[in-house]
Amino acid sequence: MSAFYLDIIKDRLYTTKKDSIQRRAAQTAMYKILSALVRILAPMTCYTAEEIWKSMPHKVGENTESVMLDYYPKANPNYDDEELEEKWDKYIKIKDEVSKKLEIARADKKLGLSLEAKVILYADGKEYDFIKGKEELLKEILIVSDVEIIKGNEEKQEGAIVGVKVEKAEGEKCERCWMYSKTVGEDKDNPKICARCSSNLK
């Protein structure tokens, strides 16, 4: 979880509007995960689970005294969604393919943090249809400052979903979200932040 989900949601938790749907949704998902995980872990790590239970918020009807006195989580059939799973398996695979290229760029000292990168993704056919128009989502998943999607098979390794090219992101680093953007400086009241952060602060 920490290598994928928690890493990705950091941006929305730290930088989007306090009451934005993205931020509230991430908080809800984390709460549900915590609520289930603490019960599953309780028989193995009793003290830690009790400590978590005492400091986490609870719903009406839960036994606040001890995690041992509350119920074991039940699987929610609504969360079984093969289509969604398939879609995310694909995003995870794309992230793996991009990570390899980012790693090479880092080893070559072309960039440090992944946020210093702009990633160009080449795809064709149904793979192109899958990522077409998803630049914003992919920026979040890949934790990079810019994503460009081009139809084609350049840079594509055998068996890969996309071809990947890594460049240095254009613009200045935003002091608030650490993404690189050409919009940094546009807001005269907050000249060190990007347009996205500027609107999130209003």
Tell me whether residue 94 or residue 179 sits nearer to Zn ion (CB atom). Answer: 179
The yes or no reply on residue 115 touching Zn ion (CB under 5 A) is no
Tell me whether residue 139 or residue 176 sits nearer to Zn ion (CB atom). Answer: 176
To Zn ion, the closest distance from the beta carbon of 183 in angstroms equals 8
To Zn ion, the closest distance from the beta carbon of 24 in angstroms equals 20
Question: Of 31, 35, 36, 40, which is closest to residue 9 (Cα–Cα)?
Answer: 31
- Residues contacting residue 156 through CB under 8 Å, at least 6 positions apart: 122, 162, 163
To Zn ion, the closest distance from the beta carbon of 197 in angstroms equals 3
Q: What would the DSSP string read from start to end of 19-70?
A: T-HHHHHHHHHHHHHHHHHHHHHTTTSHHHHHHHHHHS---TTS-SS-GGGS
The yes or no reply on residue 177 touching Zn ion (CB under 5 A) is yes
The yes or no reply on residue 184 touching Zn ion (CB under 5 A) is no
User: Using CB under 5 A as the criterion, which residues of the chain lie in contact with Zn ion when the complex forms?
Assistant: 174, 176-177, 194, 197
